């Protein structure tokens, strides 16, 4: 049994009123963590944007970045 199947089986064992109460708590937990995830992504993007083109890299890292064909460069 997968973890998801175990959780579903446990939920099915609960009386209806308890199941509904637990589902409300799960919805609140999801909302809190979704908001936190979005905030973390926004903070990471701001950190990258504020340090854009100001990082010093060692020669090994520079060589790796220059050889990576998937990277885009703005030489402008």
Domain that holds residue 20: 3-67
Classify residue 73: in a domain, yes or no: no
34 pLDDT above the threshold of 90: no
Per DSSP, the three-state class of 37 is helix
Per the structure, how many domains does the chain have?
Answer: 1
Classify residue 75: in a domain, yes or no: no
Classify residue 74: in a domain, yes or no: no
Give the CA radius of gyration of the chain: 23
Lowest-pLDDT range, 22-26, 32-36, 49-53? 49-53
Question: What does pTM read for this prediction?
Answer: 0.43
Q: What is the pLDDT of residue 45?
A: 79
DSSP string, 16-29: HHHHHHHHHHHHHH
Q: What is the pLDDT of residue 41?
A: 80
- Phi first, then psi, for residue 72 (nearest 5°) are -105, 145
Lowest-pLDDT range, 3-17, 30-44, 56-70? 56-70
Note whether 57 and 65 are within 8 A (CB): yes
């Amino acid at each position: 049994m997968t973890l998801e199947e175990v959780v579903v089986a446990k939920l099915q064992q609960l009386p209806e009123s308890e199941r509904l109460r637990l589902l409300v708590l799960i919805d609140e937990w999801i909302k809190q963590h979704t908001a936190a995830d979005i905030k973390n992504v926004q903070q990471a993007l701001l950190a990258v944007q504020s340090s854009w083109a100001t990082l010093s890299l060692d020669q090994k890292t520079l060589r790796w970045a220059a050889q990576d064909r998937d990277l885009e460069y703005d030489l402008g």
